[in-house]
Amino acid sequence: MTGLPLLLALLLAEAPVGVRILGPGPLRVASATPPLEGACAPLTTEEGCTLPCQPPARVELELELAGFEPRRLELGGATVPAEVDLRDSGWLPRPVTLAVDASGAGGPVTVVWLHGRETVSAQAGDGPVAGPRVAPGELVQLAVVGPATRAVTVEKRRSPAEEPIPVPLEAGSSRAVVCRDPWNGEVVAACSLTVGNLPRHLPKGLRARLLPRGRVVNLGGLQVVDTGEEGEWVLAEAEGFPPTLRRLRDLPVVADLPLDPPRELAVRLVDARSGEELAGSVSVSARLDDAVVAVAETAVEPGGQTSLLVAPGAVTVAGSAPGYRPGREDLVVERPHTAVTVRLQKAATASGRVLDGAGRPLPGAAVVALSAAGSLESQDNVAAADGTGQFTVTLAGDPPWTLVARLEGYAGSPVTLAEPARHVTIVLEPRCRVAIQPILADGTPVRGDPLMLVQAASGEVVQAVPADGDEAVGVELAPGEWVAILEERSLRGTLTLPRACQGWRGPVILLPVGQLP
């Protein structure tokens, strides 16, 4: 070998041998002990970094990768590999950083997230807050909550260049809830939460569904509850578990909520006289203190029974079937399997026609049968008139019964029955268009709030929303006594419309519920 090839071979033979360090991304050598300088100074590359020459002695490197904690690497000794592969799981992500100023929040502010099955939280102050350790590009899921703070959720792919993540705070009320398996404590990620209140002024002992308040966001099992104005109840539901009902005030701001252990409740509907099994529907209500909250409902197939999962404790099972009066059973569920039979009594019916003042039929009119207590027992107590105005309706409760017909644009007087009847005539006349001005006791107008109007004699409920810029509420009503309700403000007032009420305009004075005469 002579000439240029020989020269190149000699140069290559004498060239220093470097070390290539491969990483998940560009690596920076933050420090080297002893220092590497001059021709051996480390170089950052897209694949990691390179030491241009072989370390003359044992050297310890501190390597930095964006979004991860520094990592140490020792090289040197008898043999130094030409390549070191650090594309492994040995990199520990740095905590996500958040910019949360909690100094004016009006209460403690908590950053919360899930790490595996553990609920982890950190208190926010007036500086950066360290959150979960998440690798760049992976999903960050966390929430910022507090008793005087509106919930803030963060759900995004991590980008260290965008940190600290700004978290603006607003006044409100929020919590973080994690549903857990009662047996092993695992997170139940598919849990669904409803937060709300029972309807106001609900008669004691009457069951009702929760009226939802605020919003609930599920961040992979971390339920973020933004109640706005404080809700009273939280209902947790998940497949394989019974509905779990708790008072919200009993839960801390960051709460692990064990779901109630399941108890199987088998329900049969039967004719109280013949014992024949019936098809219908069943609902289950839970009782806590003096509140009764409907938590589950299902259908019962013909000739069979239905099974539901319920929580241990006191429940009310209500059953209904077409042509029967609803029945109920109160019981305490303790054993893993409980069977209950709800016996239903045959219901009385009434039939007749709905006509206008000229004797013409009014198809589609709804006929409602109220009990002596002015209440309904089931959906069968409401019937629709057919094309000739004919109807048949199941009577609710005990006599005397009140039949009320309703049709948009019409109003009429209720019909009272002392016994079941087959030839009832209900006459409806066109309703009056009136304008109502809600005012407080001092004469201050109440503007912008929806007004609910209830006529006790007929059981009719009308929702009226004021038009923009108009102090009066325009609505169609029948003559007679009405109760006006502002639900959100707990205000009520009474209103009497004359028989000749078309075009009537006047005020209704609203008072706090406790001050009504």
pLDDT tens string 341-379: 999 999 889 999 999 888 999 999 999 998 887 777 777
Instruction: Report the pLDDT value the prediction gives residue 7, as an integer from 0 to 100.
Output: 41
Domain match, 237 and 268 both? no
Sheet holding 48-51, edge to edge: 43-45, 48-51, 19-22, 83-85
Instruction: Report the pLDDT value the prediction gives residue 274, as an integer from 0 to 100.
Output: 92
3-class secondary structure, 492:
strand
Beta strands in 358-512 (DSSP E): 366-370, 382-384, 390-394, 401-406, 410-411, 415-417, 424-430, 432-439, 451-455, 460-464, 473-477, 480-486, 491-497, 505-509, 511-512
Instruction: Report the pLDDT value the prediction gives residue 361, as an integer from 0 to 100.
Output: 94
Instruction: Report the pLDDT value the prediction gives residue 206, as an integer from 0 to 100.
Output: 43
Domain match, 233 and 369 both? no
Q: Torsion over CA of 180, 181, 187 and 193, rounded to 10 degrees?
A: -50
Domain match, 24 and 162 both? no
Tell me the pairing of strands 211-212 and 415-417. Answer: unpaired
Whether 143 maps to a domain, the answer reads yes
Final residue before a domain boundary, out of 286, 312, 344: 344
DSSP 512: E
Domain match, 307 and 158 both? no
Whether 4 maps to a domain, the answer reads no
Residues forming a β-bridge with 306: 267
Domain match, 159 and 231 both? yes
Q: Which of 290, 346, 291, 287 is nearest to 317 (CA)?
A: 287
Domain match, 114 and 248 both? yes
Domains held by the chain: number: 5
Instruction: Report the pLDDT value the prediction gives residue 465, as an integer from 0 to 100.
Output: 76
Rg (CA), the chain: 36
Whether 269 maps to a domain, the answer reads yes
Q: What is the CATH number of the domain that holds 397?
A: 2.60.40.1120
Q: Cα(220)–Cα(294) distance, rounded to whole angstroms? A: 27
Instruction: Report the pLDDT value the prediction gives residue 467, as an integer from 0 to 100.
Output: 65
Residues forming a β-bridge with 123: 110
Whether 5 maps to a domain, the answer reads no
Domain match, 124 and 207 both? yes
Q: Residues 216, 225: contact at Cβ < 8 Å?
A: yes
Whether 7 maps to a domain, the answer reads no
Whether 43 maps to a domain, the answer reads yes
Whether 439 maps to a domain, the answer reads yes
Domain match, 150 and 237 both? yes
In tens digits, the chain (517 residues) has pLDDT values of 455 444 434 333 444 458 999 999 999 999 999 888 888 899 999 999 999 988 777 889 999 999 999 999 998 766 678 899 999 989 999 999 999 888 777 889 999 999 999 999 999 887 789 999 999 999 999 999 998 899 999 999 999 989 999 998 888 888 999 999 999 999 999 999 988 876 654 444 345 567 777 789 999 999 998 875 556 788 899 999 998 988 888 889 999 999 999 999 999 999 999 999 999 889 888 876 666 777 788 888 877 788 999 999 888 899 888 888 888 899 999 999 999 999 999 988 999 999 988 899 999 999 999 888 777 777 788 999 999 999 999 888 888 999 989 888 887 778 999 999 889 999 988 888 898 888 888 888 887 778 888 887 666 788 887 766 567 888 888 888 899 988 778 889 998 888 778 889 889 898 887 655 5
Cis geometry, peptide bond prior to residue 400 (ω within 30 degrees of 0): yes
Domain match, 208 and 133 both? yes
Instruction: Report the pLDDT value the prediction gives residue 457, as an integer from 0 to 100.
Output: 67
Cis geometry, peptide bond prior to residue 517 (ω within 30 degrees of 0): no
Q: Cα(120)–Cα(178) distance, rounded to whole angstroms? A: 11
Instruction: Report the pLDDT value the prediction gives residue 39, as an integer from 0 to 100.
Output: 83
Q: In degrees rounded to 5, what are phi and psi of residue 8? A: -60, -40
Whether 2 maps to a domain, the answer reads no
Domain match, 216 and 310 both? no
Instruction: Report the pLDDT value the prediction gives residue 239, as an integer from 0 to 100.
Output: 92
What is the residue range of 334's domain?
263-344
Q: What is the CATH number of the domain that holds 466?
A: 2.60.40.10
Q: Cα(401)–Cα(404) distance, rounded to whole angstroms? A: 10
Domain match, 440 and 377 both? no
Final residue before a domain boundary, out of 237, 258, 279: 258
Domain match, 148 and 169 both? yes
Final residue before a domain boundary, out of 344, 362, 381: 344
